[in-house]
Structure 1
Amino acid sequence: MSYQALYRVWRPQRFDEIIGQSIITQTLKNAILTKQISHAYLFTGPRGTGKTSAAKIFAKAVNCHHLENGEPCNKCETCRAINDGSLNDVIEIDAASNNGVEEIRDIRDKVKYAPTKADYKVYIIDEVHMLSTGAFNALLKTLEEPPANVIFILATTEPHKIPATIISRTQKFDFKRIRPEDILERMAFILKQKKINYDDRALKLIAKAAEGGMRDALSILDQAMSYGDDQVTYENALQVTGSVNNDLLTTYLEQIIQKDTKSALITVQNILENGKDASRFVEDITSYCQDILLYQQDPQIVEQMELGMVDDKFKKLSGQISDEAIYQMINELNDIANSLRYTAHPDVYLQVLTVKLTHLQSNHVATTVNPGVSADENDKIKALTEKVDDLQKEIERLRTATPTEETESQSSSAPKPIEAKGGRVHVELAKVYPILGKATRKDLTEIQQVWPDLMNQLSVKQKAVMGVSTPVAASSDGVIVSFKFSFIFQQAQASQELSDTLENNLDRLIGKVPQIVFVPEDQWPKIRQDYLASHKDELKNRHETSQQGQETSSDEDNDGEGEKPPTDGAKPIVKKAEELFGKEILDIRND
């Protein structure tokens, strides 16, 4: 007979051979022993966790006349026929390729006929979530009123895609990911039965790489055996899984902590030259960072997860890096992992990642750790540096609240960007001030009138962003839009597509393309106040010039008649503020 893969040869034939699902198998055995057999079952869970195997064993058990404590005997004619796949009363259907209404209608028609040899006719529908809506509706009627001698077993990896009406008519069993130690024990048992030599570290690496799937673990083990000529070594396991040696990962992270960019880049280059997969390397680094974070909280958890592979280097490294540094590293690793999916140059992204990681700590006080100092002293240093940082921020806040004349004069000539909440997006006053310098109430009113029409022309996503925005100032060539929430303001600020859409639609509505500038609502009053204060002289001169022009015009119109006293006694700056923002939003206070 031709060679069969390990996962086929060692497929469970009894409930007690299913690894890591003891609660489910015990429940099914009890149901068979007590004759409390349901007409429909739903087995859900990740791939390779025993769903289809459990369904076939259950089909044997309900039809076996020689049960042994709820287990099929695997010796009688019925059990052997089910194992061979020759029993017509056990029908296995792949819903991925038979997902139409006609296939389900065929089942509905044939389900009425009694089984030929077995006691129960069992339908095992694998990947049931692939059925079409019409097929689910056709299946629903059969599940509502099934014949007494028919059992449906539905298996899927994506239960959220199954209609609730189907789920409510079944007994649902959730298969969990298999623990690495259980996978390790099963692989060791198989290799001992086959009398094949193996390295414990290799099996631990394969068990971890399988991510909770026994079938995946056996497939990787099969590859490692073929690659090593029936010898399972640690090096072979590394090659087959594409993983990186733990020593290399430790060396890389040590270089990151020490900010040794050059050495870290050389390490990455060596890893790529050895044929390691870039995505797998990022996953391994992320998992390593996760282990460090967990080890700092509870060492025993990591010892169990890593199957005793935690060494002295790992323990030393976990004491040299802070949790804040790990958070930042994981964020960067996640960003790079997403980018690697769509690139043909993974080496470039890994080099960029390395440079970013070696420079992260310099920007964050919380990541400063002294390797030669104990953990308690490091915590004290960290607390003190945080207090110093808070005091510096408070000093800066007080300076901003009470600006000097020098600061005011500097701000009028070279406006600085204001940092929004979150510290990542800034308000560019260099764009805001020119609009305020020419802003009029007339221009703002014009924008406010067309604003609802402008919102109607946006996409659903863009409407969601702009739904908390309001135009607060406008000139002939610019509009200032205020956002109620800072994080929404940041999203709008970062979207060039949104700005382009707004400007294009304004061109259609008002016949011109004004520049659109975004500001957060909580900072808008201060921006407005700072502008009026820093441009006081300019606004006063402009107001006096306009007053003289009005008086000259008035003299000419009156043909030499006597001067008329001014009817408006408002201050120039208040007058300009009314022109910019309207009377209803001003709060005039006499100093």
Structure 2
Amino acid sequence: MYTALYRRFRPSNFSEVVGQQHVVRTLKNQVITGNLAHAYLFCGTRGTGKTSIARIFAKAVNCSNNAKGDPCGICDNCKAIDDATFMDIYEIDAASNNSVDNIRDLRDNVIYPPAMGNYKVYIIDEVHMLSTSAFNAFLKTLEEPPAHAIFILATTDPQKIPATILSRCQRFDFRRISDGDMMAHLRSIADRVGVKVDDMALNLIVSKADGAVRDALSLLDKCISYCGDTITHEDALEVLGALDDDILLRFSRAVLDYNVAEALKIVEDVYGAGRDAAQFLDDVIRHFRNLLMARMVGTGLEEYAGHLEDEIRRQIMGYSENRLIRCIEILNSSANQIKWAVLPKVILEVAVVRLCQPDIDNDINGLLDRIERLEKQATFSKGQSEGQVATISQTVSGDKAGLENGKKAMETRSVEKASDAGAGTKKVADVKGLPDIRDVWSALLDGVKREKMALYVFMKNATPRYENGALIVEVDKSIFRDALKKAENVAFIENLLKKITGIEMAFRPELKKDDESQKAEKEMVNELISFFGKDKVQIIKE
């Protein structure tokens, strides 16, 4: 009878465990020193090795030759455990044995000493499924068990376990297996069973497994059943129902070009081929995530074939970080809705329209997307009229040169104006050598316009002033103020101010007040000054 890969290659000792070295090392040291706890709690997502390590640990503590912390596999106890004839290891499924009566039976039997080994080990899987009464009945036994008893509780949902149980256990959190460890493990198993798997197919299996070894082995088993001795990337895509990279890039290109007709056609073709809407969203979300990671930190392209590299890099340069984040947020929201939708295809199509038509979204991200679209159209029109397209590196170097030249010119003008006693221009007070605030503002707008057109739109009609070491900018709309107050925008503008003025200057956006409120505020301040005295009143701007 055929045995599934995840059962056939289940680890039999600690050295065969994939990942989880923080758990393995601790348990081995406890076996070597004999400092065993009476209760353990293994927490983690499915397929990360909780039950496997619990069995290895139960085997190790009952092994006759465990001097190195690992079960020897050759003593009588180890052989009995392998043959499932050992009487002192109990595996209980709490999902189906969750009543108080089941715990009472356990409590009545635990008092008897082990029949064959050194310890009676109780492995309770999915322990969070126990009822409240069962937990209460288990509490006293768990707190003061017999010296020969060890409890190992395993769960994927530790927050459902009462705090009184958690406090009595030594807790271990199992992590998702890294992609590198998973790849090496799958490659080793494929070699042992005589199957050739190309790297792209393994990458796809690993990405679908999401850090769970059991899921990865089940998917590999499925691919072997379909493909035989050789598994290609195309075969893996067909078996797993995943989208081809070419389709993903065609879709992201359509979104990048705001081509809603092409994007909807791709959805129709995918749906017509029998693909699941939820699976389509999962693949597209992961694709946009890879584009974002590649743009931000240069990683995430390992999953794609080499011949697609040029198109991927063109798309990375075409998308801004803001737009990629907006795409991911829209798709993720639709993925949550589609689980309960009567017509999943409709949810998917609405998401596609929102991706390609930012005009229908009134939030800040939709506004920034529309501005970015207009900016691209203006840049394209300008390039057509002038017959040239500037490269990104030339644009950046030109911006830096312009900022430096503007800074030098303003420094010269500030010195000239400082020597002119009759000049009527209002200077920024208390900062020696700082140029006129109007010159600073003009240069700042020029720099922002060259590098971030969206911010320029928010700032172009604002009113600047200098106060207590900060450039305060009053804007008409709260949506403009909120966008300018984002940490990355404040840091960008403050860095630009430092280049222009040569000094550190804070940037603070505020909402403009109407004339009536300003007048009332001024009258109130004057009354306070006249009553308390000017030296007693301090005005603090928030």
The TM-score with structure 2 as length reference comes to 0.69
Partner of 2:221: 222
After superposition, give the CA deviation of every residue in 1:305-352 in whole Å (9 maximum; x if it has no partner). Answer: 889998333222111100111122122112221221123433333222
Please state whether the residue corresponding to 1:282 is helix, strand or coil. helix
Partner of 1:71: 70
Partner of 2:459: 390
After superposition, give the CA deviation of every residue in 1:529-582 in whole Å (9 maximum; x if it has no partner). Answer: 9xxxxxxxxxxxxxxxxxxxxxxxxxxxxxxxxxxxxxxxxxxxxxxxxxxxxx
Cα 1:149–1:356 change in 2 (3 A) is: same
CA deviation after TM superposition for structure 1 residue 302, in Å: 2.6
- In the alignment, the residues of structure 1 paired with residue 113 and residue 39 of structure 2 have an alpha-carbon distance, to the nearest angstrom, of 17
Cα 1:388–1:394 change in 2 (3 A) is: farther
Cα 1:23–1:306 change in 2 (3 A) is: farther
Cα 1:344–1:228 change in 2 (3 A) is: farther
- In the alignment, the residues of structure 2 paired with residue 195 and residue 152 of structure 1 have an alpha-carbon distance, to the nearest angstrom, of 40
Say whether the 8 Å CA contact 1:279–1:337 is kept in structure 2: yes
Please list, as runs of the form range in 1=range in 2, the aligned pairs for 1:237-248 lying within 5 A after superposition: 237-248=236-247
Say whether the 8 Å CA contact 1:14–1:71 is kept in structure 2: yes
Say whether the 8 Å CA contact 1:61–1:71 is kept in structure 2: yes
CA deviation after TM superposition for structure 1 residue 34, in Å: 0.9
Letter in 2 for 1:84: D
Partner of 1:298: 297
What is the percent sequence identity of the aligned residues? 41
After superposition, give the CA deviation of every residue in 1:464-499 in whole Å (9 maximum; x if it has no partner). Answer: xxxxxxxxxxxxxxxxxxxxxxxxxxxxxxxxxxxx
Partner of 2:343: 345
Partner of 2:86: 87
User: Unaligned 5+ residue runs, structure 2?
Assistant: 360-365, 381-388, 397-447, 465-474, 482-510, 518-542
- In the alignment, the residues of structure 2 paired with residue 348 and residue 356 of structure 1 have an alpha-carbon distance, to the nearest angstrom, of 12
Letter in 1 for 2:57: F
Letter in 1 for 2:178: R
Say whether the 8 Å CA contact 2:95–2:126 is kept in structure 1: yes
- In the alignment, the residues of structure 1 paired with residue 142 and residue 480 of structure 2 have an alpha-carbon distance, to the nearest angstrom, of 54
Partner of 1:474: none
Partner of 1:104: 103
- In the alignment, the residues of structure 1 paired with residue 244 and residue 258 of structure 2 have an alpha-carbon distance, to the nearest angstrom, of 21
Please list, as runs of the form range in 1=range in 2, the aligned pairs for 1:190-201 lying within 5 A after superposition: 190-201=189-200
After superposition, give the CA deviation of every residue in 1:31-88 in whole Å (9 maximum; x if it has no partner). Answer: 1001111111110000000000000000010011122621111222211222232212
Which of 312, 330, 352 is matched with 1:332 structurally? 330
Find the structure with the greater CA-based Rg.
1
Partner of 1:150: 149
Say whether the 8 Å CA contact 2:40–2:152 is kept in structure 1: yes
CA deviation after TM superposition for structure 1 residue 241, in Å: 2.3
- In the alignment, the residues of structure 1 paired with residue 261 and residue 184 of structure 2 have an alpha-carbon distance, to the nearest angstrom, of 42
Letter in 2 for 1:311: E
Partner of 1:205: 204
Please list, as runs of the form range in 1=range in 2, the aligned pairs for 1:349-428 lying within 5 A after superposition: 349-360=347-358, 363-364=367-368, 365-366=371-372, 368-369=375-376, 374-375=391-392, 377=395, 381-392=450-461
- In the alignment, the residues of structure 2 paired with residue 17 and residue 125 of structure 1 have an alpha-carbon distance, to the nearest angstrom, of 23
Say whether the 8 Å CA contact 2:39–2:152 is kept in structure 1: yes
The answer to whether 1:3 aligns with 2:2 is: yes
- In the alignment, the residues of structure 1 paired with residue 218 and residue 321 of structure 2 have an alpha-carbon distance, to the nearest angstrom, of 36
The answer to whether 1:136 aligns with 2:205 is: no
Q: What is the total number of aligned residue pairs between the two structures?
A: 408
Partner of 1:279: 278
Letter in 2 for 1:120: Y
Say whether the 8 Å CA contact 1:40–1:169 is kept in structure 2: yes
Say whether the 8 Å CA contact 1:128–1:154 is kept in structure 2: yes
- In the alignment, the residues of structure 2 paired with residue 130 and residue 124 of structure 1 have an alpha-carbon distance, to the nearest angstrom, of 14
The answer to whether 1:250 aligns with 2:319 is: no
Say whether the 8 Å CA contact 2:195–2:228 is kept in structure 1: no
Say whether the 8 Å CA contact 1:89–1:120 is kept in structure 2: yes
The TM-score with structure 1 as length reference comes to 0.64
Say whether the 8 Å CA contact 1:303–1:310 is kept in structure 2: no
CA deviation after TM superposition for structure 1 residue 20, in Å: 1.1
Cα 1:96–1:235 change in 2 (3 A) is: same
- In the alignment, the residues of structure 2 paired with residue 162 and residue 308 of structure 1 have an alpha-carbon distance, to the nearest angstrom, of 48
Say whether the 8 Å CA contact 2:271–2:277 is kept in structure 1: yes
CA deviation after TM superposition for structure 1 residue 183, in Å: 1.1
- In the alignment, the residues of structure 2 paired with residue 353 and residue 130 of structure 1 have an alpha-carbon distance, to the nearest angstrom, of 37
Say whether the 8 Å CA contact 2:245–2:304 is kept in structure 1: no
- In the alignment, the residues of structure 2 paired with residue 383 and residue 420 of structure 1 have an alpha-carbon distance, to the nearest angstrom, of 19
After superposition, give the CA deviation of every residue in 1:396-435 in whole Å (9 maximum; x if it has no partner). Answer: xxxx99xxxxxxxxxxxxxxxxx98799xxxxxxxxxxxx
- In the alignment, the residues of structure 2 paired with residue 164 and residue 138 of structure 1 have an alpha-carbon distance, to the nearest angstrom, of 15
The answer to whether 1:22 aligns with 2:21 is: yes
CA deviation after TM superposition for structure 1 residue 137, in Å: 1.1
Letter in 2 for 1:65: S
The answer to whether 1:315 aligns with 2:319 is: no
- In the alignment, the residues of structure 2 paired with residue 306 and residue 137 of structure 1 have an alpha-carbon distance, to the nearest angstrom, of 53
Please list, as runs of the form range in 1=range in 2, the aligned pairs for 1:499-518 lying within 5 A after superposition: none
Partner of 2:164: 165
Letter in 2 for 1:123: Y
Cα 1:91–1:281 change in 2 (3 A) is: same
CA deviation after TM superposition for structure 1 residue 360, in Å: 2.0
Partner of 1:118: 117
Please state whether the residue corresponding to 1:319 is helix, strand or coil. helix
RMSD, aligned CA: 3.1
Say whether the 8 Å CA contact 1:127–1:156 is kept in structure 2: yes
Cα 1:385–1:131 change in 2 (3 A) is: closer
Partner of 1:571: none
CA deviation after TM superposition for structure 1 residue 394, in Å: 7.1
Say whether the 8 Å CA contact 1:328–1:360 is kept in structure 2: no
- In the alignment, the residues of structure 2 paired with residue 132 and residue 34 of structure 1 have an alpha-carbon distance, to the nearest angstrom, of 36
Say whether the 8 Å CA contact 1:324–1:366 is kept in structure 2: no
Say whether the 8 Å CA contact 2:31–2:66 is kept in structure 1: no
Say whether the 8 Å CA contact 2:128–2:157 is kept in structure 1: yes
Cα 1:36–1:158 change in 2 (3 A) is: same
